[in-house]
Structure 1
Amino acid sequence: MIYCDHYQSQQCQSCQWIETDYPLQLQQKETHLKQQLAKLDLSQLAWFEPFRSPLTAFRNKAKMVVSGAVERPILGIVNEQNQAVDLTDCELYPRHFAEVFLVLKDFIGRAGLVPYNVAKQKGELKFILLTESRYNHELMLRFVLRSENKIPLIQRELAKLQAKLPQLTVITVNIQPQHAAILEGEKEIFLTKQQVLEEQFNQIPLFIRPQGFFQTNPTVAESLYATAQQWIKDLPIDSLWDLFCGVGGFGLHCAKALSEKNPDVKLTGIEISPSAIQAAKKSAEKCGLKNVNFQSLDAANFALKDQQAKPDLVIVNPPRRGIGKVLAQFLNQMCPPFMLYSSCNAVSMGKDLAELSHYQLRKIQLFDMFPHTSHYEVLGLLIRQN
């Protein structure tokens, strides 16, 4: 259990379990997970102990609402009482983020970036999004603005900002013109030549890009991918599909492990985001994996329409809604020998596993990606029933 002034003063209630002892947090999450699996045949299930997260400084990304005045900007949240709360000292962020935020506050004033006022619908700067690579400690900074009007002011002060923070290697402006509680818009304008951060988990290079999903708890994410590797590396797998692959974390880890015994292992990764696929291809090249095909397609549509030889392993890492009944029934019919299912929503996962009637859950582990909240990640290994 950690102490937080913001929680005690009821200014920020994001970490709703922060006053609950950590072992009890894990126990409650495991209980919830078991409830979602209650209707399944668990007679051959190996249940692994939850993977624990650090309790502080575990996030690699900060999403800061910008409020206050241009001379004294406030970076944090606007709570339910419509109070602007400064969270630059939040215990979830690495300690050195506080120093970065201090420089950014000064930059906001120098560049004349007036914080956006929701009630008055005036101002320009809505959010500051800061992401760090644990691998090389480079930073990505994104300014979310209402329009492009202030970009020349940012560019005017940019060299001074980078002199103070040389670790800022990716800087962008995102345009979000709507008067709504939307984090970002579609248009991303790069102010630096470098456009991605390189991260590494288990010696596998992965790339963090603007507007792309990437796990915010590197310690737990690295263990999640390593566990997937361990579970499948000795199985008879010559080809695998990674559906909803994102930047390729699961597929690349599994293909790399399998390639040690079979250099010809074939990986097909499917993700709807073109920029994610571009990042995944870059990772595969750096890994030295040759027999890899990443495509920008809808994962469910690809699986349902593709007529190539079925894979030995299918990895699914869907959004919170799960894979759904149609895709689950298709996987039942195609019936690959092995499946890895990674989920951020055990409720939808439980429904999907019930639909996957031709499979038996053999291994499962909870990964506490989000301590002090009710959320968690799960990894399960399914084996086709005879």
Structure 2
Amino acid sequence: MHCEHFIQKRCSSCHHCMTDYAEQVERKDQQLKIQFSSWAHLDTDKGNDNESSSITWLKPVASADSAFRNKAKMVVSGAAHQPILGLPATQGKEALSLVDCPLYPKPMQEILIYLQDWIRRAGIPPYNVAKKKGELKFLLLTQAQKPEQYMLRFVLRSTQALPRIENNLAELQARFPNIQVISANIQPVHMARLEGDEEIFLTEKQSITETFNDVPLVIRPKSFFQTNPQVAEQLYATAREWVREIKPNHMWDLFCGVGGFALHCASPDTSVTGIEIEPEAIASAQYSANQMGLTNLSFAALDSAQYSQGQEQAPQVVLVNPPRRGLGKALTDRLEALAPPYIIYSSCNPDTMKEDIQGMSHYRLERMKWFDMFPHTDHVEAMGLLVRKS
């Protein structure tokens, strides 16, 4: 990927972008195999069981090397007469506009370029961290590609700048009618926190819909959503394929978010219970289930570990997709006790994934596949199939 910001040493977020992409994929593949295969070998040496600890590695899913990201999180800095969307000033470096970042598709770049000037014309003062003055802290733009729609969020220190936004919305919506959802999030705390609790919608519509594999997924302001849609589509399709091989009557989807895995894996023969702590995400998942006419899905806004503690038995398959910190000991211990025959583990952090699997000694990691959700970085999305040892 060609990036002038990286070449000129203004931004180093994509620290492998000058490496040939095929070489990046090969490096990640080898590193992940070493990380997990060496552990599997050690597990065999310890004599924990008589079953083979070898892992079947499936072909990784590569990404486009540019224009693959569907969400822009821009720090707003500079001054009211010259706002800058991108990276704030740091010691020795000036603030950097990233509205033309090659990670974003051209239509997103066009909106971001326009917004940077629109903020100036609207007279919305950027927040100054050092002086604790100003109003606009962040700008968050999310794209759904099927169909092409956008959600735009202004993260503000207070409601003081709301009239300036509202007075200039007609111009913005006339220029980009596919920006279907616009909201203001109020984050009054002076700290490195992306968003606050209060969301004020400035449009009648409050969500956009992305479609993966003919499954509609609702994106709302505070819902987690994968940032690389082409790769995410294949992640969900792979999970569905694995579940259909097992053919469970019932399964859990823990940390289900907006229901990406649950909605893909549900079938006339497989019912799914989805658990997610964020009520907004659960509302989105239930809406999608209703749209698809699925009646064998149930969703609940609960903590996954607490939910598991209240269950006397587990279904045949438990799918988990935790945040970067992993499952944690309480949940791994509970899964060990509940003893589902299969666990499908999807993770954006192979380090915590490996720790969690090591904490479940009654399971062997049978199959692994990884997805390059984050090109030009060291990060991957990995998915493994764990089988209960006989």
TM-score (norm 2): 0.93
AA at the equivalent of 2:125: V
Matches within 5 A, 1:1-386: 2-37=1-36, 38-40=38-40, 43-78=53-88, 80=90, 81-256=92-267, 259=268, 262=269, 265-307=270-312, 309-386=313-390
AA at the equivalent of 1:215: Q
Distance in 1, Cα, partners of 2:237 & 2:89: 37
AA at the equivalent of 2:291: K
Which runs of 5 or more structure 1 residues have no equivalent in the other structure?
none
Aligned-residue offset at 1:23: 2.6
Distance in 1, Cα, partners of 2:32 & 2:329: 20
Distance in 2, Cα, partners of 1:348 & 1:35: 16
SS in 2 for 1:234: helix
Distance in 2, Cα, partners of 1:248 & 1:366: 20
8 Å CA contact retained: 1:12, 1:79: no
AA at the equivalent of 1:323: L
Distance in 1, Cα, partners of 2:108 & 2:274: 34
Aligned-residue offset at 1:43: 4.0
Which runs of 5 or more structure 2 residues have no equivalent in the other structure?
45-51
Distance in 2, Cα, partners of 1:131 & 1:196: 11
Aligned-residue offset at 1:300: 0.6
AA at the equivalent of 1:365: K
Which is worse superposed, 131-140 or 325-334? Answer: 325-334
Aligned-residue offset at 1:291: 1.6
Q: Deviations over 1:213-271 (max 9, x none)?
A: 11000011000000111112132300000111111111111114xx2xx2xx3211111
Q: Deviations over 1:3-46 (max 9, x none)?
A: 21101111111111112222332233223323432222564522
Q: Which residue of 1 aligns with 2:48?
A: none
Which is worse superposed, 225-234 or 41-50? Answer: 41-50
Distance in 2, Cα, partners of 1:100 & 1:351: 42
SS in 1 for 2:299: strand
**Stretches (4+) displaced over 6 A:** none
AA at the equivalent of 1:374: D
8 Å CA contact retained: 1:11, 1:79: no
AA at the equivalent of 2:182: I
Aligned-residue offset at 1:102: 2.9
Distance in 2, Cα, partners of 1:67 & 1:187: 22
Distance in 2, Cα, partners of 1:203 & 1:146: 39
Distance in 1, Cα, partners of 2:5 & 2:111: 20
When the two structures are aligned, how many residues end up with a matched partner?
378
Q: 1:39 to 1:379 in 2, by over 3 A?
A: same
SS in 1 for 2:266: helix
SS in 2 for 1:133: strand
Distance in 2, Cα, partners of 1:367 & 1:71: 42
Q: Which residue of 1 aligns with 2:47?
A: none
TM-score (norm 1): 0.94
Q: Deviations over 1:266-302 (max 9, x none)?
A: 2111111000110010111112210221000000110
Q: Deviations over 1:288-318 (max 9, x none)?
A: 21022100000011011123x5311100001
8 Å CA contact retained: 2:182, 2:202: yes
SS in 1 for 2:168: helix
Aligned-residue offset at 1:106: 3.2
Considering Cα pairs closer than 8 Å and 6+ residues apart, tell me whether 1 or 2 has the greater RCO: 1
AA at the equivalent of 1:334: L
- Provide the identity percentage: 50
Distance in 2, Cα, partners of 1:109 & 1:321: 39
AA at the equivalent of 1:63: K
Distance in 2, Cα, partners of 1:174 & 1:302: 30
Q: Deviations over 1:62-111 (max 9, x none)?
A: 11111223232211112543411111111000012222123212321232
